[in-house]
Amino acid sequence: MGKCKMSTSWLRGKVRSAEQRGVGRHMDKVLRKNKDKTRADKIRDWNKLQEVKEKKGVECYSEDDFLDAMEAMVELGYHASRFEKYRAAVVDQQLMGLAVEKRWTQDMAFKKRFGAIKKQAMTVYMRMKTAGAKKKGNKPLEEDGDVDDGLRGAIVEAMGIQLIKWLRKKGLGHYADGVMIAHAGLLRHGEIMEAAHKDFYIENGVWHVKIAGGKWREEGEVDYVPLEDARLTLDRVIKKGVSGKLFPVWDPEEIRAEIRECARAHGWDANRRWDFHCLRHGKAVDNRLKGMSLQERMMRGRWKSEKTEKHYSRHR
C-alpha cells in the first residue's frame, strides 16, 4: 500500500515538474526568453561602449578601455549579466574586424581580470538590492560585513521540521526521509541522490554513510559521515539485503520546487534563495549554535579551511 502511494505521488510530481519547466503551452515563452541576441543588439551595445570611452573603432578600443568601463559600472550597481552583454558585443566586433592574434578577449589574462570584475559586480549588486529591501521593511541580512552567498538561506532544525511536515502532508514521504538524512549529515544534493543501501552502516550505535566521488573530492578519496540525528529514520528505511539506491525515485526538480513552496508558505526570508543546499547551511549553523568545536564542525562538513566553514555557519 505504501509503495503504491509513493509511486502515485512520484508520478504526480513528475507531471507538475514538467509543467514548471515550460513544457507544452509555456514552451514558446521560454524559447523567446532564451533566444540569442541579434546582430543589431550587439551593434547597439558596442556603440554604447564606444561612447563611454569616447573612442571609435575596434582597432583603437583596448582591453584596458573595456575593463575601465566595466569597473566604472560596478560602482553604479549594474548586474553582472550587463557586463557579459558588453563583452559579447566586443567579441562580435573583434571577430568581424581583427586578426586572431589581436583579439584580446580570447586571452586567459583578460578572462581572469574580467571574471574578477563580474564577481565584484555581483557583490555590489546584491548589497544594493539588500539595502533596498531593508528600506521597504523586509527582513534584513546579518550585519557581519561578509559577502553573502547569492542571498542563500539556511534551513536550521526548526525550519527543517516544518519542511518535513510539509512533505509528508503532501504525500512525499520519501523526500521527507531524504531531507532528514541529508540535514543530519550535511549531505549535498548529489550525495543523497546517489546514496545506496550498501553505503550505510552502524558504528558504536551511530549510523554513518560512506561517500566517494563528486567534483569536490579527490580520486579515491572517501568520507565517512555520522548521521546520529536521523537514527529513527534510518532504522526504518534501511533494510538488510536490499541493494540499489536508497531513494530511486528522487527528482531534483520536484524537491527544489517543494522547498521553495514551503519557504513561501511559512514566510521564510523572501530576500534569500531557498534550495536543497540550504539544508547544508542550516545544519552548519545548528552545529555552531550548539557549541560544537570548529575542528569538529569542519570534519562534519568535510571542509578543509576555516574560511569555508564560517561561510556556511554564519548564516541564520
Spell out the residues 6+ positions from residue 123 whose beta carbon is closer than 8 angstroms to its own. Answer: 147
Dump pLDDT digits (tens) for 32-65.
Answer: 444 455 667 677 777 777 777 777 777 778 888 8
> Using alpha carbons only, what angle is made at residue 248 by residues 211 and 213, rounded to the nearest 5 degrees?
20
Q: Which three cell numbers stand for residue 173?
A: 514521504
Query: Does 31 or 314 have the greater pLDDT score?
Result: 314
pTM reported for the whole predicted model: 0.55
CATH 1.10.443.10 residue window(s) in the chain: 157-313
pLDDT score at 11: 61
| Cα–Cα dist 166/172, whole Å | 9
Query: Does 103 or 280 have the greater pLDDT score?
Result: 280
Local structure of 168: helix, strand or coil: helix
DSSP per-residue string spanning 60-109: T--HHHHHHHHHHHHHTT--HHHHHHHHHHHHHHHHHHS-GGG-GGGSHH
* Residue in the structure block whose three cell numbers are 546584491: 126
pLDDT score at 197: 92
Measured in whole angstroms, the distance separating CA 191 from the mean position of its chain's CA atoms is 15
Give the architecture (CATH level 2) of 157-313.
Answer: Orthogonal Bundle (1.10)
pLDDT score at 157: 92
